[in-house]
Structure 1
Amino acid sequence: MSDEIIIIGAGQAAAQAVQSLRAEGFEGPIRLFGDEAYAPYQRPPLSKKFLAGEIGYDRVELKAEDFYASSGVATHWSTRVTEIDRRQKHILTGDGQAFPYGKLLLATGSRVREINVPGFDLEGVHYLRNIDDVTSIQAHFKPGAKMVVVGGGYIGLEVAAVAVKRGIDVTVLETADRVMARVVDPIVSHFYERVHAEEGVKIETGVTVAGFEGKDKVEAVVSGEGGRYACDVVVVGIGILPNTELAAEAGLHVENGIAVDEFCRTSDPDICAAGDCTSHPNGIYGHKLRLESVHNAIEQGKTAAATLAGHEKPYNQVPWFWSDQYDLKLQIAGLSTGYTQAVVRGDPTTGRSFAVFYLKDGVLIAVDAINRAPEFMMAKMLTAKKAVLDPARIADESIGVKELAG
């Protein structure tokens, strides 16, 4: 019987798990499979500094490639795992090879949600999820080019911010009535709409995409409302989907992600899962979450490694996220879903620095901080404590951040 730990997926959670397994004292063999040609790298910079050409691959790779060899990890890049045989306890790869495992970690991540409209396969219609996607988009970075971004979420707005600075004519089309509607309050949405307009980006909300037109390549986006937007390139950013198919086909419990417990164990005690692909319990909010964030991938990678090494450490933390656009750093602590009151600290109508505190029946559940690092740091702590805050004190900037809980 094999004592090897196999990790399927080569993203942030997988890289963290390798590091943490060795830190936890696991000395057995580890085998890592990734379907890209690259060793694990950071994805967030892809739509920011990496897209802008300000940093190269050496700045996004999580570990130098010799780290895996020196850590005793057998790596299989450009290799897709096609099946998990739980009864025989082995996996199968696309080239027909079988590899036995003692324990298994699924870090299969997520993929882009694709748009299914006429012309979706025209040249010049792109998504942004990996390094090769960025290279394809950068080929269109020519001053005066016209770009249409489909989707006004994090990715869409980050791409727009980079592109407009490169002299590109950028239009963002968003189906909802405001940008980032899924994750922030209207106060924050309207602030970002103002800033993008100031920077030269055109944002149109309440617009559905009916199709793409063009002969050899995309030439226009057509909306369901009758609009036509001429373009040389399209970047689609309409969300991501968890990669759960492999787990589901193996008979593991899947419910809005691969279902795991607080120790990252799946319905099979010999298989853990971590990162974007999981649905996990959160004691702070009292229900299951599927999170698409670096923080979650790192912490679940640590938790899964501890479980696989036989040292169970429950995962229960305040989620956090960030987005960089222009000179703005948006840092989000917690989840604002279900809030009953939003309290603003600072002025979102003129400057570029403020925070929105979300309360649910007086209890702090989340904070959106724009260029407000102190509020963000304090929010993580206060949200974990389920602190009850006075709205008047939050709004009063003469009261220091550290005194808000007083």
Structure 2
Amino acid sequence: PKLEGICYYRTLDDYLWVKERISAGKSAVIIGGGFIGPEMAAALTENGMNVSMVFPDEYLCRNILPDYLARPLENKYRDRGVSIHCFDRPEGFAAKDDMVITRTERGKEIESNMVLICIGIVPEVSLAKSAGLHVADGIVVDEHLQTSHVDIFAAGDAVFFPNNAIGRMTRFDHWDNAIHQGRTAGRNMAGAKEPYLHISYFSSQLFDFYYEAIGEIDPSLNTYADWQRDKTGVVYFLRDITIRGVLLCNMRGRINAAREMLDKRIAPENLHAAIR
């Protein structure tokens, strides 16, 4: 049975549940250190809560940020009072009065007023399955957002589509993608036959560090950082000298310029001041 005080953070109702329980001096455990977890930890900390994080990776945002950005960011979380438990996972939860005890695989017991499970979402595809549509990691569509049924189109977070930016099928859980896919699907249902070519971005605010990212954001790629000043600048993700992704750090209003840089072949030494 689900314990009172534990929230699997996925929906608007979950947001409202958390909002009602935010109170300075109370405590929260965040499970997950990828995208939503760090956002939630920063927001709760700024609202005066005592926050602990538990995640299996070596450091925060490991699948998004290069280590030379992620590690200083994690240090900022520690400086703000966030207790970081990396290389660890929850093993179980128990109730204690009005608190929740989180027990981890490494033997930690963390007491808190609430536990937020921030480990991503699973697409809701039951309707698509019942309709006989092809389903994989979401509702499978072609470049026109047409499903395996000729008269059914799909768009949004639950869609598994050919992503032109990274050259493979993927889902993209972000409002920018949902809006543009919806428009394209609507036009195609009316007979336009337009391929979906929009390259969507995502963004995050983590204390005073804001980023926008577009394209193939993969820390295993080679990167080139073009800093204007401390932690303000552009990080390029490169395959050979081809720009596959762009990360804008504390630079707002430049996403269209970043989008135009994708797939250009530019030697790193020539990327200085390419986006300002």
What TM-score results when the alignment is normalised by the length of structure 2? 0.91
Q: What's the counterpart of residue 13 of structure 2?
A: 132
1:264 aligns with: 145
1:389 aligns with 2:270: no
Aligned to 1:43: none
Counterpart-to-counterpart distance in 2, 1:332 and 1:268: 33
The aligned counterpart of 2:40 is 159
The structure 2 residue matched to 1:189, chosen from 62, 70, 79, is: 70
- Paired position in structure 2 for 1:401: 275
Residue 316 to residue 364, structure 1, CA distance change in 2 (3 Å):
same
How far is 1:375 from its partner? Answer: 5.6
1:289 partnered with 2:170: yes
Contact 2:90/2:102 (8 A) holds in 1? yes
1:239 alignment counterpart: 120
The answer for unaligned runs of 5 or more in structure 2 is none
Could you list the runs of 5+ residues in structure 1 that have no partner in the other structure?
A: 1-119
- Alpha-carbon distance in 2 for matches of 1:315, 1:287: 13
> Which of residues 240, 244, 249 is equivalent to 1:361?
240
Matches within 5 A, 1:247-258: 247-258=128-139
Larger Rg: 1
Q: Distance in 1 between matches of 2:246 and 2:149?
A: 36
Q: How many residues align?
A: 276
What is the SS of the residue equivalent to 2:270? helix
Q: Is the 8 A contact 2:153 2:185 kept in 1?
A: yes
Contact 1:122-1:217 at 8 Å conserved across structures: no
**Counterpart Cα distance in 2 of 1:182 and 1:338:** 6
Is residue 301 from structure 1 mapped to residue 182 from structure 2 by the alignment? yes
Query: Considering only aligned residues, what root-mean-square deviation do their CA atoms show, in Å?
Result: 2.1
Q: Tell whether the 8 Å contact from 2:32 to 2:55 is kept in structure 1 after alignment.
A: yes
Question: More displaced, 360-369 or 199-208?
Answer: 199-208
Aligned match for 1:142, one of 7, 10, 23: 23
Partner of 1:214: 95
SS of residue paired to 1:357:
strand
> What TM-score comes out, normalization by structure 1 length?
0.64
**Equivalences for 1:4-23 in 2 at 5 Å?**
none
1:259: Cα distance to partner?
Answer: 0.8
Cα distance between partner residues in 1 of 2:22 and 2:156:
32
Question: Amino acid of the residue matched to residue 401 of structure 1?
Answer: I
Of the structure 1 ranges 357-366 and 309-318, higher mean CA displacement relative to structure 2 is found in 309-318
* Residue 155 of structure 2 corresponds to residue 274 of structure 1: yes
AA partner of residue 367 (structure 1):
V
The equivalent of 1:11 in structure 2 is: none
